[in-house]
Structure 1
Amino acid sequence: MRVVSLVPSLTEAVAVSSPGVLVGATDWCGHPAGLDVARVGGTKNPDVPAVLALRPDLVLANEEENRRPDLEALRAAGVEVLVTVVRELDDAWGELERLLVACGVRSRPRWLDEAEGAWSAVVPREPPVRGVVPIWRRPWMVLGRDTFAGDLLARLGVENVYAGHAERYPRIPLDELRVVGADVVVLPDEPYRFTADDGPEAFGVPAALVSGRHLTWYGPSLGEAVRVLSAGLRAAYGR
């Protein structure tokens, strides 16, 4: 079995579960540390000929991370492409099981059991806090409806102000974000790298600087995500 992953979180899932099958990954696939496989470009602009040159039996992709024309080009060349669809945490468990089986993993990995156990034990904060979750600036973009990251935050007691928006990642003017009535602004360090000096100053409410990997990746990082995200939120609103 030869597998190429075009999604960083899926790369990590396969690499720690069945390291010998992974032969290629994107330039953004930085976990686990020291991963030694061929690099095939970005998630949005993979080098399709480079992927084909690796003679993969399977390419792993995601409906959001990857572009349909690239996946269609791989299929047209005779390569099997598995596309994951994850809009909430419960989707992640099933999709991870599906792709690991497709990669030849014969038994459910321990990390997956531990991650599912950690999230099943979560008791959301009461009362919940109203949050805004920017993912980009210039222009400002936030989490809207039907997102994996929004579901994780909801399970931790953060109600996304824009969860009912018609768009999944709407562009919202900063003036509106400042007066929307949020208790906290959640600032991940990816895809835009918000930092203590770049982001919080735009808002008049507490800011939670959190790990984007733990907020948006579905894979082994989910086992740590409850602790990591909870710590970031507590640091912002004090309890």
Structure 2
Amino acid sequence: MRVVSLVPSLTEAVAVTRPEVLVGATDWCTHPAGLDVARVGGSKYPDLDRVHALRPDLVLLNEEENRRADAEALRAAGVPVLVTFPRTVPQALDQLGELVAALGVTGEPPWLSAARRAWSRPPAPAAPRAAVVPVWRRPWVVLGADTFAGDVLRRLGVVNQWADHPDRYPRPTLDELRARRPELVVLPDEPYAFTAADGPEAFPGVPAALVSGRHLTWYGPSLAEAPALLAGQLARPVRADR
């Protein structure tokens, strides 16, 4: 079996489950460390000629990260594709189970069983906190409705103030974000690399939790450690007073 993954989290899932079948991945596939497979470009604009040259039996895509045109082109060329699009933690766990089955694995790999256990009883927050969750700035983009990352945070006690917006990724102004008077701002380090020096200063006086973007947005082996790690990061916010 030969698998090409155009989704970083799924690349990691395949690499720790059946590494011998993974023959290609995107330039953004960074886990596990030292991954040594052919690279086929980015998630949004992969080089389909390189993909075809790898003679894949299966190409892994995500409805949000990859383009429909690429999925359709692969299907038209007779290449089987598996498209994922989880918007909740249970959906992610179920779709990862489907991926494992598509890889020909019998039984559940240890990392997936560990992820199910971890999310069956995630750490209980002290109290729910109303928050804004930027994922980009210049312009500001925040988590809106029906997102996987939003469900992750909800299960850890974060009440997303933009979860009722009709868009999945609204683009409010900074004044609109501040006007909601959030109790917390959650700043992941990807896709935009927020840091203590880049992000909290936009929300003076508001505690800012700097969190792992991989554990917030990836669905794969990282799900096993995500609840504890994110809960710890959410419990240790920084504050920009000016």
Place the TM-score, normalised by the shorter chain, in its bin: over 0.9
Contact 2:123 2:227 survives alignment (8 Å): no
Distance 1:49 1:107 in 2: 34
What residue in structure 1 maps to residue 234 of structure 2?
233
In the TM superposition, structure 1's runs of 4+ consecutive aligned residues that sit over 4 Å from their partners are: none
Q: Give per-residue Cα distances to partners, 1:96-134, cap 9 Å, x unaligned.
A: 010111112222101111111011112432430001000
Identity of aligned residues (%): 66
User: Which runs of 5 or more structure 1 residues have no equivalent in the other structure?
Assistant: none
Give the residue type in structure 2 aligned to 1:165: H
Distance 2:177 2:48 in 1: 40
Contact 2:122 2:228 survives alignment (8 Å): no
Give the residue type in structure 1 aligned to 2:224: G
Indicate yes or no: 2:220 matched with 1:219: yes
Distance 2:238 2:122 in 1: 18
Indicate yes or no: 2:38 matched with 1:38: yes
Distance 2:74 2:171 in 1: 32
Distance 1:83 1:33 in 2: 24
What residue in structure 1 maps to residue 170 of structure 2?
170
What does 1:60-71 correspond to in 2, within 5 Å? Answer: 60-71=60-71
Give the residue type in structure 2 aligned to 1:110: P
SS at match of 2:235: helix
What residue in structure 1 maps to residue 201 of structure 2?
201
Distance 1:164 1:200 in 2: 24
Contact 1:184 1:237 survives alignment (8 Å): no
Bigger Cα displacement from structure 2, 5-14 vs 122-131: 122-131
What residue in structure 2 maps to residue 9 of structure 1?
9
Instruction: Calculate the TM-score normalised by the size of structure 2.
Output: 0.96
Distance 1:217 1:124 in 2: 21
Structure 1 residues 168 and 175: alpha-carbon distance in aligned structure 2, compared to 1, 3 A threshold = same
Distance 2:181 2:118 in 1: 31
Distance 1:51 1:215 in 2: 28
Distance 2:192 2:103 in 1: 31
Instruction: Calculate the TM-score normalised by the size of structure 1.
Output: 0.97
What residue in structure 1 maps to residue 58 of structure 2?
58
Distance 2:153 2:237 in 1: 14
Contact 2:136 2:142 survives alignment (8 Å): yes
Give the residue type in structure 2 aligned to 1:190: E
Distance 1:127 1:186 in 2: 16
What does 1:92-131 correspond to in 2, within 5 Å? Answer: 92-131=92-131
Deviation at 1:237, TM superposition (A): 7.7
Distance 1:167 1:76 in 2: 31
SS at match of 2:23: strand
Contact 1:190 1:213 survives alignment (8 Å): yes
Distance 1:237 1:130 in 2: 16
User: Which runs of 5 or more structure 2 residues have no equivalent in the other structure?
Assistant: none
Contact 2:123 2:228 survives alignment (8 Å): no
Q: Give per-residue Cα distances to partners, 1:28-84, cap 9 Å, x unaligned.
A: 000000111000000000000100000000000011010001111111111001001
Distance 1:216 1:120 in 2: 18
Contact 1:61 1:83 survives alignment (8 Å): yes
Contact 2:75 2:81 survives alignment (8 Å): yes
Contact 2:196 2:238 survives alignment (8 Å): no
Distance 1:129 1:86 in 2: 24
Bigger Cα displacement from structure 2, 122-131 vs 29-38: 122-131
Structure 1 residues 129 and 237: alpha-carbon distance in aligned structure 2, compared to 1, 3 A threshold = farther
Indicate yes or no: 2:121 matched with 1:139: no
Distance 2:124 2:238 in 1: 15
Deviation at 1:236, TM superposition (A): 1.2
Give the residue type in structure 1 aligned to 2:221: P
Structure 1 residues 237 and 153: alpha-carbon distance in aligned structure 2, compared to 1, 3 A threshold = farther
